[in-house]
Amino acid sequence: MQTNLKHFLVAFIFVLSCFCNAQGNRNEFVVVIDPGHGGRDSGTPGTKRYRTTEKDIALDVSLALGKLIQDNLPQVKVIYTRDKDVFPTLNARAIKANKANADLFISIHCNAQPKGKGTAYGSETYVLGLHKNATNLEVAKRENSVIFLEKDHEETYKDFDINDSESLIGLMLMQEDYLDQSIELAAYIENEFQTTAKRKSRGVKQAGFWVLSQTYMPSVLVELGFLTHKKEEDYLNSNKGKSIMTKALFNAVQKYIEMHFKLVNKAAILEKKQDEDDTVTQDIYPEITFKVQIAASSKRISTKSYNFKGLKEISRDKKGNIYKYYYGKTSDYSKIKTQLKHAKSKGYDECFIVAYKNAKRIPLNEALKSTSN
Ligand SMILES: [Zn+2]
């Protein structure tokens, strides 16, 4: 009995330390690439002049994108939701990305127009949201309709009505936190399609894609172009076209990573320097200082104002595996109260004032007692 307990404890501690390591080791940026469709779900067949369909082009571009990332950005880990011609469910794709605690989710598709409805062409990149027009809704419906090919879809998707995007609102809350970053990546992608690939961009759009609603990270769905448009279908079936579109996607992903995580090349050095900077600023604090704590997260986010609803003067510290984010820094209590109001007006409803004495966090009432404020 004693020995059993000991074995149990050893195993428990081992599992715990693995868990802690996994959580603490965020020097790695994880990108999940999701090639749309696959297996018995061919996606759009386009003009039917090719034997290949949407699923093949999506897979080719996805694998090439993953390879470019791995060859050029060694600290980025790439995970595919499928790397061959198989059919993972939409649900399985989202679960895989969430389990990997990924930092980005990129779903890759090709577009189609219903027969006789004109000859649209060009790329579109979607983020999750309520569609602004009927065309966006049609794209989302077409991409969501793969759920009907899944077994047990009534059970898995029981709260979701494909014809009613309002039914997605409840599910959308999960993506809400990441919407700004998703839009940012989508904008880089469409910009790259226009400049690097010299293609027509139809812009960044919003619609209710089920797969995007289930991921806990910035997520986009890319429509490379219309396979129902002959010239575009030719382009996307050509090796040249695919490699140019891949390069454009890579540039956009690289730019996003550079903006948000300074870990491409020499990341460790940068991180160390950042920590030293934090220490230095702490040493020169006046005796009592106040900040507004606005967020806490397991992710290390750059303190740029665009990541914090436009708030400037953002600082960060780390305790255990959690990064805390603060707005403002002053020894003047009335000033910090004004800054608290400002942060709340920006949507940080739960923010609060924290106090430090010689860079050590102390209870707020203790700080107030020892200041003349
Ligand atoms: Zn698709």
Which pLDDT does position 104 carry in this prediction? Answer: 97
pLDDT tens digits for 74-94?
889 999 999 999 999 999 999
Ligand 1 is an ion; its neighbours by CB within 5 Å are: 36, 43, 109, 143
Question: 143 C-alpha to center of ligand 1: Å?
Answer: 5
Distance CA 84, CA 176 (A): 31
Which pLDDT does position 141 carry in this prediction? Answer: 87
- Where the chain has pLDDT below 70, the residues are 1-27, 165, 170-171, 173, 262-286, 371-373
Which pLDDT does position 263 carry in this prediction? Answer: 46
Question: 289 C-alpha to center of ligand 1: Å?
Answer: 53
Question: 103 C-alpha to center of ligand 1: Å?
Answer: 22
Question: 158 C-alpha to center of ligand 1: Å?
Answer: 22
Which pLDDT does position 368 carry in this prediction? Answer: 84
Question: 199 C-alpha to center of ligand 1: Å?
Answer: 19
Single-letter code of the amino acid located at 41:
D
Question: 86 C-alpha to center of ligand 1: Å?
Answer: 14
The structure tokens 């009505």 sit at: 161
Question: 124 C-alpha to center of ligand 1: Å?
Answer: 12
Which pLDDT does position 15 carry in this prediction? Answer: 44
Residue 185: which region, alpha, beta or left (left: phi > 0; alpha: psi -120 to 50)?
alpha
Question: 248 C-alpha to center of ligand 1: Å?
Answer: 19
Asked if residue 147 lies in contact with residue 153, where contact means CB atoms within 8 angstroms, the answer is yes
Which pLDDT does position 268 carry in this prediction? Answer: 44
Look up the CATH superfamily of 2-260: Zn-dependent exopeptidases (3.40.630.40)
Which pLDDT does position 319 carry in this prediction? Answer: 78
Question: 77 C-alpha to center of ligand 1: Å?
Answer: 24
Question: 252 C-alpha to center of ligand 1: Å?
Answer: 21
pTM: 0.66
Question: 161 C-alpha to center of ligand 1: Å?
Answer: 18
What residues are paired with 289 via a beta bridge? 356
Domain map of the chain by residue range?
2-260, 268-369
Question: 101 C-alpha to center of ligand 1: Å?
Answer: 24
CATH 3.40.1190.20: does it fit domain 268-369? no
Which pLDDT does position 373 carry in this prediction? Answer: 44
What residues are paired with 76 via a beta bridge? 29
